[in-house]
Structure 1
Amino acid sequence: MAQLACAQMPLRSLWRCRISPPSTEALRSYNQQQWRHESILGALSDIPSSYNKRIRVGRGPSSGYGKTSGRGHKGQKQHGKVPAGFEGGQTPVEKIHGERGFVNVHTKDFAIVPLTRIQSWIAQGRLASDRPITPRELIISRCVSDAKDGIKLLARSKSHDCSLNAQGPLTIPLNIVVSRASSSAIEAVEKAGGKVLTRYYTRWAMEQIVKNKMDPIQSLRSEPVDTEDMDTSKYQYRLPDATSRKAIEYYRDATHRGYLAYTVGEHEGPSLFHKPPRNITREEIEEKKRLRGTSGQVQKTKLNMDANKMW
C-alpha cells in the first residue's frame, strides 16, 4: 500500500519524501568556510613569480617589438654584438695562436717509478735484485703500467707522500737501467752499493723490449767493455742509439750516469758545441803571445806589399 501511495504522489512530493533535509551543523560549517573579510578586495595582487618584466620580442607588430624587435634594419645597432673572437677587422687571436694552444712535439712523456715502489716490489718477491733491473722487468712486474717514451727513476713519489725514510733507507744494492734518473735517486742507489745506468729508449723500442725482441741494455754505441760477454744474436731488432744533439749531450754527462759518458775525453764536457775552460800554464800563455806578435808582423808586411801594387 505504501508503494502504491508513493506512485500516485506528484513528482515534487516524491522527491521530498525520498531526500531528507540537510542538517544544521553542515550548513553552519559550509557558511564558515565561504566567509571572507571585506578588506581582501583592496589587497588583491598577482603572485610575485607570475609576473616577468622581460619584454618578449618578435611576437607580432601589435606589441611594438615584432619582426625586427625594435632595432630597425641591418647595421651595427641592429646586431647585438660582434662574433666571438672578432678583433675589429684584424687577424683573430685563434688564427695566430691556434684554437687549442701549442703542442710541443719534441717533449718526452716518461713513466715515473720511485725507489720506494721498487723496494716494495723486491720485498714482495715481484722483482729480483740479483740481476739488472731493466725496463722489461719493471713493465712485466707491473711496477710501471705504461712505459710511454721511457722510465724516469725518482727517490720518492710526489703523488703519494712517501720517502725512503718511510720504509727505511735503501739497503739492497740495485743494478738498474732506466731512461732518466734524478740526482737524489742516483745518490740513494750508489750509497747502498748499487749502480744506475741511463740510456736512450724510444716508444717503439720499449714495445719490442717487452716482447723480448730487443736487448734492453746493449747497443752499437754502448761501452765496448760491457758488450764482450753479451750474446745479442738471439734478439730480432737492434737497440737504437741517441741521434739528436739534446739526447746525446744528456747521455754523455757523467752526472746523469749516461751510457755515452765513456766517450767524453779529458778536458772535455758533455756538450758537443761548447768547450769547457781549462787551466792554461804560463808557458802556453807566452807561446801564444809570441805567435800573436809574429803573425802581426807577417800581416803588416803583407799589407805594405799590397800597397805597392798598382792594381
Structure 2
Amino acid sequence: MLRLLSPLSRCSAFKPNIWNSRSRSESMLASLRDTKGSYKKLKRVGRGPGSGMGKTSTRGHKGQKARSGNRKPTPVFEGGQTPITRLFPKVGFKNPNAKCLSVLNLDKLQQWIDEGRLDASKRITMKHLLKTRCVHVIKDGVKLLGAHRKRLKSKIEIHVSQASKSAIGRIEYLGGKIVCEYYNKLNLRALLKPEKFNVLPRRAMPTHKRDIEYYTNPEKRGCLVDKRHLFPQLPPLDPVPENPTQAMPN
C-alpha cells in the first residue's frame, strides 16, 4: 500500500493542510464588516442624475442659497444695497481714556449734612455718598466742585477722586481736609461693594501719565504726594506755599 503512494502524498499525510487554512483566513478577511452605525457614508453631490442627487446637487433652483461661497451672510449684510455704515459719514470720536466722573457740589454736600444724612465729624468717602444717595451713580469716581461754596459751613474730611481748586480752597479755609485718591475699576468696586469680595484686592498704582501727574501733585491734594519718589520720570515740582487758601474770603 505504501508503494502506491507518491512521495508528495507521503509527505502530506504527516503534515497539516496549509492550503486549506490559508483559503479559510482569506475568506474571513473578505467578510469583515464595520459595526452597524459606526460609519456613515458621505453625501456625494454633483455626480450626475444617476446618483440621485444630480443636476442642482440638493441646492434647489437659483437663489442666494444656491450660489457658491458663504450661504449665511454676515449680520451687517443688507441684501446688496448700500449698508448704513457707508451711507452715513463718521462724525466725532470717542476718547478711550476719558473718565466718567459724577459731579458733586459743596452746597448739596452741606444740605446732606444739615439733614443728618452725612456725619461731618467722621471721614466722608465715596461709599457714604453713594449709600446716602448724595450721588446716585458712580462709574469712575466723584469730582467735587465749588458751586455755591459759601453755603458750606461745616468742617469736614472728605476723600474723592478729583476736586476743583475752589472746592479745595473752601474746605481747607474751614479747617477741613480733602484727599484725592486714585481708584481703578477693581478698587472702586471693592470700595463701594466690599461684600462682593472674599479678599479685598490691594490698591493699584496709576499707570497713565495723566493720572500720575495728577495724584502726585500737592496742589491737587493727591494721595501719592508722599510716594512721588516712586515715579522718577516726573519733572520737579514748583514750590507750593504752605497755606495757599489762608486769605480766602468767607
Class of the TM-score when normalised by the shorter of the 2 chains: 0.5 to 0.7
Task: Give CA deviations for 1:142-194 in whole Å, capped at 9, x if unaligned.
Answer: 000111111000111xxxxxx134xx4x2211100000000000000001110
1:114 corresponds in structure 2 to 105
Measured in 2, the distance between the counterparts of 1:175 and 1:277 equals 26
1:199 corresponds in structure 2 to 181
TM-score by length of 2: 0.55
2:145 corresponds in structure 1 to 154
Native 8 Å contact 2:190 2:200 kept in 1 = no
The amino acid that maps onto 1:257 is: R
Measured in 2, the distance between the counterparts of 1:271 and 1:113 equals 34
Measured in 1, the distance between the counterparts of 2:217 and 2:196 equals 25
Q: CA deviation at 1:129?
A: 1.1
Which of the pair is proportionally richer in helix?
A: 1
Measured in 2, the distance between the counterparts of 1:173 and 1:242 equals 30
1:238 corresponds in structure 2 to 202
Task: Give CA deviations for 1:74-113 in whole Å, capped at 9, x if unaligned.
Answer: xxxxxxxxx99xxxxxxx897xxx6243111001110001
Residue 131 of structure 1: which of 90, 100, 122 is its match? 122
1:272 corresponds in structure 2 to 233
Measured in 1, the distance between the counterparts of 2:130 and 2:193 equals 11
Task: Give CA deviations for 1:18-59 in whole Å, capped at 9, x if unaligned.
Answer: xxxxxxxxxxxxxxxxxxxxxxxxxxxxxxxxxxxxxxxxxx
Gap regions ≥5 residues in structure 1: 1-82, 85-91, 157-162, 216-233, 279-311
Q: Say yes or no: does 1:171 pair with 2:153.
A: yes
Going from structure 1 to structure 2, the CA distance change for 1:214 and 1:172 (only over 3 Å counts) comes to farther
2:68 corresponds in structure 1 to none
Larger radius of gyration: 1
- What is the correspondence of 1:290-309 to structure 2 with a 5 Å cutoff? none
RMSD: 3.1
Flag as ranges the 4+ runs of structure 1 deviating above 4 A: 275-278
Identity of aligned residues (%): 31
Measured in 2, the distance between the counterparts of 1:93 and 1:246 equals 38
Higher RCO, Cα 8 Å, sep 6+ = 2
Count residues in correspondence.
Answer: 155
> SS at 2:206's partner residue?
coil
TM-score by length of 1: 0.45
